[in-house]
Amino acid sequence: MCSPVEIAMAAFQTVSSHNAAVDAANTQNARYVQNVQNSRVAFQDDNRAANRRIAQERDAEAQAKFDKSIEALETSGRVQTAAGEANVAGNSVRALFNDVERRKAMAQGTIARNTDMRVAQVEDQKQSTVNTFMNRVNSVQKAEAPRMGDFLQDLAINVGTSYVANHVVPNAGANSTNPTVKWLTTPVFGK
């Protein structure tokens, strides 16, 4: 006869196994949550650094353009002074002023284009931080805890197997007329 201790042991083993699986899933999910938080912080830091670099590039652009404007004003002043001292006026002086303005505009255009290219490069790096963030998050997967239905099924199978192994099968004779006993004692493969 199957003792209550044997049935309890089978149930205990199933409950212990289920609890271990739940604990493992909880640990894995805690790792996942921590990984997402760490990835988010790294992403925000990378973005903040990229935005800071863009602001620095724009500030440097503004300063370089301002310097070119000052340089053009100084050159215009020298042209005007030289023209006044030489008592020269007309189209040739106007052409010198236009040349100074053209050089200033070309220099500022070059500064703007170079800055735009550097900013575009930083924007590309910002996009790569999105991909890095996704890769970091995906590097640790969530775990799926065992479902209660599976646990109850395992519990029923283990307790039932313990009962059959200790109660039904040992009492089954070779010529038993009980179809359940015959089914349980008949080898699946082989003879």
Q: Could you report the per-residue pLDDT of 138-184, keeping only the tens digit for each?
A: 988 888 877 777 767 777 776 666 666 665 555 544 455 555 555 55
Query: 72 near 104, Cβ under 8 Å?
Result: yes
**What's the CA angle centered on 172, arms 161 and 6, to 5 degrees?**
35
Residues 6+ apart with CB under 8 A from 149: none
Give the least confident one: 3-12, 93-102, 122-131, 165-174.
Answer: 165-174
Rounded CA separation 77/86 (Å) = 14
Cα gap 175→190, rounded to integer Å: 19
CA–CA dist 159, 164 (Å, integer) = 9
- Residue 35 CB neighbours (<10 A): 16
Give one word for 58, left, alpha or beta, with left for phi > 0 and alpha for psi -120 to 50: alpha
Cβ contacts of residue 119 below 8 Å, gap of 6+?
54, 57, 58
CA–CA gap between residue 158 and residue 9 (Å, rounded): 10
Per-residue model confidence as pLDDT tens digits over 71-82: 999 999 999 999
Q: How far is CA 177 from CA 164, 180, 181, 183, in A?
A: 16, 9, 8, 11
The residues, any chain, with a CB within 8 Å of residue 85's CB and separated by 6 or more, are none
Give the Cβ contact number of residue 171 at 10 Å. Answer: 11
What is the value of pTM for the model shown? Answer: 0.61
The answer for 167, left when phi > 0, alpha when psi is -120 to 50, beta otherwise, is alpha
pLDDT for res 173: 47
The Cβ of residue 122 has, within 10 Å, a number of other Cβ atoms equal to: 17
Give the pLDDT band (50/70/90) at residue 18: confident
